[in-house]
Structure formats: C-alpha cells, structure tokens
C-alpha cells in the first residue's frame, strides 16, 4: 500500500477507529495513545497491507493487538512491582441523540448508559466481539480474521455475551 492509499484509508476510517479505541479503553488519554499507536504501526506495516482488502479490519486488528500487549505488560509489571494505575477514572461515553422531547432524550441517554455499563462489565474477550459486531458492523468472518480466531468461536462469544446482556438488561429494555 502506498502512502497516499494509506492516507485515504486513515481519512476514511479514523472516526471509526477512534470510537473503537474509546470504547475499548474507557479512557480518553489511553484511547488517544492507542489511536495514535495504531496508525503509527499501520504506517510501519503499510507494505504488508493491501488496499483492496478491508483496511478497516486491519486497523482494528492492530488496535486490538496493541491493547492486549499493553494490558499484558501492565499485568506483568504489576506482578513484579505492584504499582497503582495512574488514571483510575473511567470516562462514560454516551452517544448524542436528537430526540424531539427532553423526556425521551433523558430516557434514551439513561438507557444507553445502562447498556454501555452492562457491555463494559462483560469479560474482555466477549466485550471486544460485541463492540466489533455491533459498533463497527463487522461480520463474524471479519471479526474472526481481525482477532485471529475461528468463526465458531466468534459465534460462541456473541451468543454468550447476548445471553449475559439479556439477563442483565431484561428489565431496562422491556420494563
């Protein structure tokens, strides 16, 4: 992939990748770092990328790999010398909705916040699959490619996540 093609891809997918980073990290500073690291790595690996093949999936897989490596390093360092997390605050990100009445707007924001919190409580391997499927609109085959796992595993994780979310959110959605 040429530099120009990479620039076009970055322009086209930057919002999606940043949004995914925000949802993965739950922290503005970490999301910014992950976002920047993702495109720096893509720049280094641009020779391996093919413009015609889904570049968004490639960017997402880079972001996931970098995030997992950072978490693994943090866990290893914590085992060696117990340190405190520098930024312990979690941002809550709620999407803006343009509802006609203020009551509906508040109700929707509360519902979205509750759903977001339920998704955040999922184990990471389930949460990543849910974010890729529902937020990034990737197919199960694309998720399998991004995460380098079998399609059956993706389907299984989606099923597990849906089951957990249904149980937790039954009263919010239907109540």
Q: What is the pLDDT of residues 77-131, one digit of tens each?
A: 666 655 444 444 444 444 444 334 777 778 778 878 888 888 889 999 999 999 9
* pLDDT-based confidence at residue 157 (cuts at 50, 70, 90): very high
* pLDDT-based confidence at residue 25 (cuts at 50, 70, 90): confident
Q: Which pLDDT belongs to residue 149?
A: 93
Burial of 24 per CB tally in 10 Å (0-12, 13-18, 19+): buried
Q: Which pLDDT belongs to residue 1?
A: 76
- Among 61-70, 108-117, 133-142, 157-166, the range scoring the smallest mean pLDDT is 108-117
In which region does residue 148 sit, left (phi positive, over 0), alpha (psi from -120 to 50) or beta (all else)?
Answer: left
Locate tokens 């990471």: which residue? Answer: 124
The pLDDT tens digits for 47-85 are 887 767 788 888 999 999 999 888 888 777 666 655 444
Residue 14, both tokens: 């930057």
Domains and CATH numbers, the chain: 1-83 (1.10.1740.10), 99-175 (1.10.10.10)
Q: Measured at the alpha carbon of residue 126, what is the angle toward residues 77 and 111, in degrees to the nearest 5?
A: 110
What's the CA gap between 112 and 133, in Å, rounded?
17
Q: How far apart are the two ends of the chain, measured CA to CA in Å?
A: 51
What's the CA gap between 6 and 12, in Å, rounded?
10
Alpha-carbon distance values, 73 to 54, 66, 78, 111 (Å): 29, 11, 8, 35
Residue closest to 130 by CA, chosen among 38, 138, 37: 138
Residue 27, pLDDT > 80, answer yes
pTM of the model: 0.64
* pLDDT-based confidence at residue 175 (cuts at 50, 70, 90): low
Q: Which pLDDT belongs to residue 170?
A: 82
């Amino acid at each position: 992939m040429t530099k120009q093609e990479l620039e076009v891809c970055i322009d086209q997918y930057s919002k999606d990748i940043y949004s995914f980073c925000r949802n993965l990290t739950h922290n503005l500073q970490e999301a910014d770092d992950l976002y920047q690291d993702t495109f720096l790595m893509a720049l280094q690996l641009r020779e391996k990328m093919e413009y015609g093949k889904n570049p968004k999936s490639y960017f997402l897989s880079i972001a996931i790999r970098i995030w997992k490596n950072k978490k693994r390093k943090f866990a290893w360092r914590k085992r060696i010398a117990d340190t405190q997390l520098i930024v312990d605050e979690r941002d809550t990100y709620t999407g803006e909705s343009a509802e006609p009445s203020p009551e509906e707007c508040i109700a929707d924001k509360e519902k979205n916040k509750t759903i977001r919190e339920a998704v955040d409580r999922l184990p990471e391997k389930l949460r990543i699959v849910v974010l890729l499927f529902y937020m990034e609109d990737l197919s199960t085959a694309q998720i399998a490619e991004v995460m380098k796992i079998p399609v059956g595993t993706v389907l299984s994780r989606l099923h597990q996540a849906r089951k957990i979310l249904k149980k937790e959110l039954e009263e919010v959605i239907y109540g």
